[in-house]
Each structure stands twice: as structure tokens, then as C-alpha cells.
Amino acid sequence: MAEEITISGWKKWLEDIGDQVAFFFKFIRNIFSGGFEWAELVRQCYEIGYRSIMLVGITSFIMGVVLIVQLRPTLVTFGAVSMMPQSLSISFVRELGPVIIALICAGKIASSIGAELGSMKVTEQLDAMEVSGANAVQYLAVTRILATTIMVPLLSLIGDVIGLFGGFLAINLRDSISFQLYFHKVIASLGFSDLFPAFVKTIFFGFAIGFIGCYKGFHSNKGTESVGIAANSAVVTASLWIFVIDAISVQVTSLLFYH
């Protein structure tokens, strides 16, 4: 009995992977199949990007402040208080900023896409689109996935700047540093090998958030409970993918820039 359950669990998992691969190719095919939904893409960029700026901004600011507050005692011990801007910029821009902002976006955007498309499935709106001969994947999925792929890197850049500004204010709570000197130190400490990989991985984070949100929404079951399940599993799976992509990008960056 237990063996049967294990086999059916594996079968379901493999079917899910197969469905995800098929959905990926459907997405790629629909980007180039003509009749691209530019207006919907712009609307989604506004909904996904612009409406997330406040959340990303506040979180990044707090993260910048907290990181400085946490870093200070250690740096004081080593007599390296003056290294606070550099420490913050490298840790924030290279790793913490992109990952935490992507996780916040997964929570906000992947869940909302999963829930929206899931509820469209439950209320037969996806079927209605399909039956009418309109292309539901092109209208709903392609636009949302491209919007997250474009907007998450931009949100990440905005978050980085706000987080570094938060760090500047936090340093000035206990110590004193001018705005010019702080940002001079921040910029001087960042090189191409810090900025480029960090930016590139946010593109993949954005894609994963949109893709998982759409996949979960399109493949939810037909029941009100399924909407919650789609939203929840979209967040969990997208978050997991963010860590997987991050782990891969660290290895690739390390191979390309530090060896």
C-alpha cells in the first residue's frame, strides 16, 4: 500500500514536471506566434511593477538599516567601522537585495497571478477564452511572464538603491559620514563582477515568479479550494526556484569571475 502511494506520488511529480516543460514550450511558441498583446504587457508591467514599488522600497530600506545595525558591532571589534559602506554594498547588491526582493515579489506577484488565473479557471473564464478561439496563453500567460521578467530586475535595482540609502541613514545614527563619501565608497567597492551577475540572476528570478504563477493558475483544479492551493503553491514553488537559481548563479559567477 505504502509502495503504491510512493509510486503514485512519483508519477504525479513526473507528470507535473512534464506539464511544466510543455507549458514552457507553449509560452515560447506563443511569444512568436503573432498578435502579441502589447497593451496587456504594458498593463501587467504597471500592475506587477509599479504597484510593488512601495512594498519593495519599504522592505529594502528596513533591510539596509538592519544590516548596518547588525554589521556594526562586528566591524567595531575588528576596528573596521569605516568599511561599513563597502560591506553593506557588496552583501546587499550582490546577494541579499536580489534574493530578498525576489522572495517578496514571489509572495506578492506569484500568489496574485496564481490566485487570479486559478479563479478564472474555476469560473470557467479560461475555458470561455479557449472555446471562443482566443489564445488564453498568449493573452494571460505570455504577458504576465514577460512583465515579471522585465519588472523584477527593475524592482531589484530600485530596492538596491533604497536599501543602500537606508544603510546611509543607519550609519549616521551612531557615526557620521557625508552622503558623497558614503556613495563614493559604495560605488568604488562594486565592480562589474558584482553588478552584472546580480542583475542577470534577477531576470531569471522574474521569469520563475511569472512562469510558476501562471503555470499554477492554469493547472489548478476546478473548485474554490483550488484557488487558495494555486496561490499557495505558486509562492512556495517560486521561492524554491529562487534559491535554486541563486545557488546555480553563485557557482556560475564563481567560475566566470573568481577563478
Partner 1 sequence: MDEVKTNTEQITEAKNGKEVVIALKGLKKSFGKNEVLKDITLEVKRGENVLILGKSGTGKSVTIQCIVGLLTPDGGSLKVFGEEVAQLSDKELKQLRMKFGFLFQSGALYDSMTIRENLAFPLTRVLKLTDQREIDKRIEDVLESVGLLEATDKLPSDLSGGMRKRAGLARTLIINPEIMLYDEPTTCLDPITSREISYLILEIQKKYKTSSIIITHDMECARIAADRILIMDDGKFVAEGSFDELHRSTNKIAASFFKDIL
Binding site for partner 1 (CB under 8 A): 35, 120, 123-125, 127-135, 139
Between residues 35 and 73, which has the closer beta carbon with respect to partner 1? 35
- CA-only gyration radius of the chain, Å: 21
- Cβ of residue 125: shortest distance to partner 1, in angstroms? 5
Between residues 117 and 208, which has the closer beta carbon with respect to partner 1? 117
- Cβ of residue 236: shortest distance to partner 1, in angstroms? 26
- Cβ of residue 18: shortest distance to partner 1, in angstroms? 17
Helix (H) or strand (E) holding 146: helix 143-174
- Cβ of residue 2: shortest distance to partner 1, in angstroms? 21
- The residue written with cell numbers 530600506 in the block is 61
Between residues 12 and 184, which has the closer beta carbon with respect to partner 1? 12
| Calpha distance 19→21 (Å, rounded) | 5
Between residues 19 and 175, which has the closer beta carbon with respect to partner 1? 19
C-alpha cell of 19? Answer: 506539464
DSSP character for 176? -
- Cβ of residue 105: shortest distance to partner 1, in angstroms? 21
**184 neighbors 85 (Cβ within 8 angstroms):** no
**Could you please report the per-residue DSSP string of 44-111?**
HHHHHTGGGHHHHHHHHHHHHHHHHHHHHHHHHHTT-GGGHHHHHHHHIIIIIHHHHHHHHHIIIIIH
- Cβ of residue 132: shortest distance to partner 1, in angstroms? 5
Shortest CA distance to 97 belongs to which of 21, 180, 153?
Answer: 153
- Cβ of residue 32: shortest distance to partner 1, in angstroms? 15
Between residues 15 and 130, which has the closer beta carbon with respect to partner 1? 130
Distance of CA 19 to the CA centre of its chain: 22
Between residues 125 and 172, which has the closer beta carbon with respect to partner 1? 125
**167 neighbors 68 (Cβ within 8 angstroms):** yes
**Could you please report the per-residue DSSP string of 185-241?**
HHHHH--HHHHHHHHHHHHHHHHHHHHHHHHHHHT--SSHHHHHHHHHHHHHHHHHH
